[in-house]
Structure formats: C-alpha cells, structure tokens
Amino acid sequence: MKKILITGANSYIGTSFEAYLKKWPDKYDVDTIDMIDGTWRQKDFSAYDSVYHVAGIAHSDSGKISEDKEKLYYSVNTDLTIETAKKAKTEGVRQFIFMSSAIVYGNSAPIGKKKCITRDTPVDPANCYGDSKVQAEDGLRELEDDNFKVVILRPPMIYGKGSKGNYPLLSKLAQKMPIFPYVDNCRSMLYIENLMEFVRLMIENEESGIFWPQNSQYSNTSELVKQIGDAHGKKIHLMKGFTWALKLVGVFTGLVNKAFGSLYYDQELSQYKEEYRLYSLEDSIKRTEGTA
C-alpha cells in the first residue's frame, strides 16, 4: 500500500485527489495536512512514500499588484514549497510531486496569434506568479537525487465540478447568453479527473521529471461556451465579426487575451506510457455541468 501526504488542506485539487483515490482503498492510504499555521512542521513525514504538494497562492490579479502580494507569492509558492520538500527529503520520503503551471511560459498569445509550447520552449514568466513557480521548480531540482524523486507538473487550465477560475465564469455566461462572439483560438485544458489519474500514475510508477498533462483535445473558447450551453439544453449562436472589438477591449485589460488568446501544448509533449485521459472534452463538460 502506498502512503500519500497531500500538503494543502481544503484545496480543490487536493480534496479531489483524496476523493479520487478512495476508489482503491486497498492500494492507497491518504492523509492531508494544513500548511497555513505552521503546525505542519511538527508532523512526521517519514511514514509516507509520496508527498503531493498542492499548497499555493493562485494567480487572480489582472493588473499591477502590491509589494506585499508579490512577497506572498514568493513566500508561499517558492519558499514554502522548497521548505516542505527539504523536510520530506530529510525524513525519508521517496517522491515529491509539485503543482507548477503553464504560466511559467508567460501569458497567452493575443487574439489572432497562436502560442504553441513544445519541449524546446524556454520558460518565460510574465509576472511574479509565474516566476515564483519557476523558482520553486529550480529549488526542487537541486534537491533531487537517486533517493528523492521530484515530479514537476505544468498543467494548463484545470476545470471540473466545483473548480474556480475562468471556467465557472464561462459556464455562467453560457447559461445566460443566447449569442456569444466567435473567436478562432486554441487552448490546452485539463479535466480534473484526467489530472487525478495522471497523478495516480506518477505515484504508482514512481516517476520523476517534468510533465505536461492535458486533455487529448484542444479547446476553442467560443465552442466551449456552446458545448456548455448544449449540456444545459440551451442553444447558443456563435457570432463572427466581434474580434476587432475584443482586440480593442484587450488594449485596456488582460482578461480578454486570457479568455480568447491562444496557449496550447504540442500534444506530443503530453503523451504518457499509460492512458490517463479517461474523459473526452465533451464528456468532461457534461460531468462538470452535472448533466452526465
């Protein structure tokens, strides 16, 4: 039986993973610990085979942030991650799994342009959030050796039932708007249960290295909204000709390119020796919307 510690209580990904592994009660024993108040430093990590580190400050800022918020990104996303990994290594944990992000490659391409990430694409963070993830990755790789394996995951936008971020906003729009602008863009996304299976395989196969899990199908923001509407039995008409207006609005806010810009991984980058993409894009939307 594998013993797993999830560092980061009440997080969407952490609680999802704990629930997911309950399918195999004889194979996995899972504990979760809160990282907020510092009491985690007194916990003995020596009983665990893997630590899945999901604690972090998510990026929710669209403009300039305060100096205090910037310090918080580095304190939590970088320093706390490395401190946790050092403790895990010192106490004999064999594997440390870190949730990084596609944000290490910078922002989405603006509307009308494409940004495809390949194995040769260098990291190029556009803000302190992305840089805090890059610095955490660098610190973790320095700790890795034959007895301490490090897995770094760089997922794209994660979505699923109960998720936060852009997807719930698109879902609300899909249930209210009869028309929606059509924009030709391309996005990598990752359904939560596909991610959970991927992480399970990382633990099962005692992996190390950098990985780029994503759905087997790319998403188009406009088509995604239409599919969400279809899941609720609501017909949405996609209207062309709004791209110029969105580009204009995008001059004043980064939210437009965040929603309608392009950022996707080469599918070759996301192949793995075992299948982890259990659900197609269509099925995942139905499951997320509660209609499957």
pLDDT tier at 260 (50, 70, 90 boundaries)?
confident
Contacts of 23 (CB under 8 A, 6+ apart): none
- Distance, CA of 179 to CA of 5 (rounded, Å): 46
What pLDDT score does 156 carry?
Answer: 96
Identify the bridge partners of residue 96 per DSSP, sorted by sequence position: 51, 150
pLDDT-based confidence at residue 60 (cuts at 50, 70, 90): low
Q: Model confidence at 63, in pLDDT bands (50, 70, 90)? A: low
Measure the CA–CA gap between 114 and 123, rounded to whole angstroms: 17
Q: What is the pLDDT of residue 255?
A: 67
pLDDT at position 247 over 70: no
Phi, psi of 51 (to 5 degrees): -115, 125
Residue keyed to tokens 């394996």: 149
CB atoms within 10 A of CB 91: 14
Q: Which residues of 193-212 are buried (b: 16+ CB within 10 A; e: fewer)?
A: bbbbbbbbbbbeeebbebbb
Burial category of 122 from C-beta neighbours within 10 Å (exposed 0-12, middle 13-18, buried 19 and up): exposed
Two tokens at 90?
């010192």
Element of type H or E holding 155: none
Sign of CA dihedral 256, 130, 36, 50: positive
Output the pLDDT for position 22.
96
Whose tokens are 């009440």? That residue is 10
Domains in the chain, start-ordered, CATH in brackets? Answer: 2-163+189-215+265-279 (3.40.50.720)
109: β partners: 262
pLDDT band, residue 266 (cuts 50/70/90):
very high
Tell me the backbone φ, ψ of residue 246, rounded to 5 degrees.
Answer: -65, -40
Tell me the torsion sign for CA atoms 212, 214, 216, 221: negative
Task: Please report which confidence band the pLDDT of residue 219 belongs to, taking 50, 70 and 90 as the band edges.
Answer: very high
Mean pLDDT of the chain: 92
Higher pLDDT, 109 or 280: 280
Q: Residue 222: what pLDDT?
A: 93
What does the block give as tokens for 237?
A: 């008409």
Rg (CA), the chain: 19
The token pair at 282 is 């269509």
Residue 234 scores a pLDDT above 80 = yes
Report pTM. Answer: 0.94
pLDDT at position 243 over 80: no
For residue 6, list its beta bridge partners.
32, 52
> What is the token pair recorded at 69?
């918020």
Phi-psi region of 19 (alpha: psi -120 to 50; beta: other; left: phi over 0): alpha
pLDDT band at residue 282 using 50, 70 and 90 as cut-offs: very high
**Alpha helix segments (H runs only) across 91-151:** 128-143
What is the torsion angle, in degrees rounded to the nearest 10, for the CA atoms of residue 15, residue 200, residue 203 and residue 218? -100
Which pLDDT tens digit goes with each residue over 85-138?
Answer: 999 999 999 999 999 999 999 998 888 889 999 999 999 998 899 999 999 999
